[in-house]
Copies of this chain bind each other. A is one copy, B any other.
Amino acid sequence: MTFDTSPARYKHWKLTFDGPIATLSMDVREDAGLSPDYKLKLNSYDLGVDIELADAIQRIRFEHPELRTVIVTSLKERIFCAGANIMMLRGSSHAAKVNFCKFTNETRLAIEDASANSGLKFLAALNGICAGGGYELALACDEIVLVDDGNSAVSLPEAPLLGVLPGTGGLTRVVDKRRVRRDLADYFSTLVEGVKGKRAVEWKLVDRVYPTSQFRDAVRKRADALAAASDRQATGPGITLNPLNPTVTESGLTYTAVTMTFDHAKRTAELTVLAPSGPQPSTAEEILKAGDQFWPLRAFRELDDALLRLRVNEPEIGTVLIRTEGDREAVLAIDRTLVEHQSHWLVHEMVLFMKRTLKRMDLTARTFFALIEPGSAFAGSLFELALAADRSYMFHDDNEENVVVLSPLNAGPLPMSNGLTRLQTRFLDDATKVSEVLAHAGPFNAAEAEEAGLVTFAPDEIDWDDEIRVAVEARAAFSPDAMTGLEANLRFAGPETLETKIFGRLTAWQNWIFQRPNAVGERGALKAYGEQGRPEFDWKRT
């Protein structure tokens, strides 16, 4: 399974441009699902469809600075989108369901990130039936317009029809983003046929409805209005996101700045990120010219891809040991360049991409231990990897050459999904510690880093090998599920946001339901759907 694609290879989406407005049209090919076991009828989708969507949104940000509005619509008659393909879901393993939901959630959050931070406004133009995951995609947009043809409705039929939740943010966004009244949301979410026309507007499920005859023009007008209101700073030519083309073998992935090797017997991986070397761009012009080869974008794109492949292709790798290598001064120089040019649209997008990649790591259900050893480059943006890890071990060398360093990128530009920086989350007990470590001049050696609370443990040469070995072996021996639950709770201390609610409350309940016989048992609702006979439920409420 790979996540590489590009518009020329899209099977399910058409991406067209007209001045500041892009139109992203869903036109799913029934016979082009990831598996031949199901047909993607009625613009229903599987992970392959969503990988193209995620790619399109990414490219719009980097390759098309001229854009202000993205219209999300469908090329199918009277159908916007029927949601996630049910036959795909019922045929999927538990892990596949969970990974599918996680990725689609991240894609929808990327839409909201582009709106909130890049001034790209998304208009869901619902030209027909919009059900389940289709409506959840619309909910991620800034504005939803629905054709008023007496038939087209928005709906979340997952619970009544399939016995599962609208788990791609649906329940959360209905009440927390669109702030639909909870009792109306309750009724709506149990109504297979959904809500259409004026009532959909009154209940705030959509923003506007238009008769069929006016729909096309109205969509254009709303898109223009959104473009006019956009504060997107980007101008000039974009850059191209070229394929990453890692070398893939049984034992690992090799990119230019990232390698990930697997020890399947031990169920561990080693992830290494290389600091930049050689001369680096330092002006906006040079950065534009370097494009996707500029280290921060290149390294974090590779990291992002490695994390995605790990999730989907390496289910039994439970523990990831993170290292960095190279010149930490070069990382700090890059961080300075990023801060200096942070108002330039491309640099801004690069930092936002780094942020999203680190969030992807926070949400990856694998243990991460950072190993900070001599020769490492845990500086600034790369130190975020240590902060994102569940624990960090720093080699306490006698000569004090092994160090970590902070940079302004640790102070705000790379927040977690809880809205706090990783330093703020780490020092939730005392905000002054955050300012203290940020005010510290120069690097921290192992003793200083441990004292300041920047690393978990700092064993010396006598203890290092044994301590790491024991920690990794112990971790790898625990129940994988218990570790997933543990990490999902400990990583997100502090405030909850729409985003963390989706991954905390909603996802955790959905995963519970995905285990329940009432959904996935032989006579469960998901299994029974489309077959003769009704589902049979264990009626006990839990």
Seen from chain A, the residues whose Cβ lies within 8 Å of a Cβ on chain B are: 94-95, 98, 158-160, 162-165, 171-172, 174-176, 179-187, 189-190, 204, 267, 315-318, 365-366, 389-392, 425-429, 453, 456, 474-475, 478-496, 500-501, 504-506, 508-513, 515-516, 518-519, 524-525, 535, 537-542
Contacts and interface: CB of A to CB of B under 8 A. Distances in A.
Nearest to A503: B505
A249 B377 CA distance: 71
B189 A486 contact: yes
A475 B491 CA distance: 37
Given A496-B501, A508-B508, A537 B479 contact: yes
A539 B265 CA distance: 11
Given A175-B490, A479-B525, A496-B505, 16 more contacts: A94-B542, A95-B542, A98-B542, A163-B481, A171-B486, A183-B390, A185-B490, A186-B490, A187-B456, A365-B541, A479-B518, A480-B542, A481-B512, A483-B541, A509-B511, A512-B515
8 contacts: A159-B485, A175-B428, A176-B493, A181-B427, A190-B474, A479-B525, A482-B525, A511-B512
Given A98-B542, A485-B165, A175 B479 contact: no
Given A190-B474, A478-B163, A488-B505, A175 B525 contact: no
A479 B539 CA distance: 8
Nearest to A264: B539
Contacts of A391: 183, 186-187
A221 B159 CA distance: 56
A479 B516 CA distance: 10
A195 to B, nearest CB: 13
B316 A540 contact: yes
Given A182-B426, A182-B490, A159 B508 contact: no
A472 to B, nearest CB: 12
Nearest to A485: B509
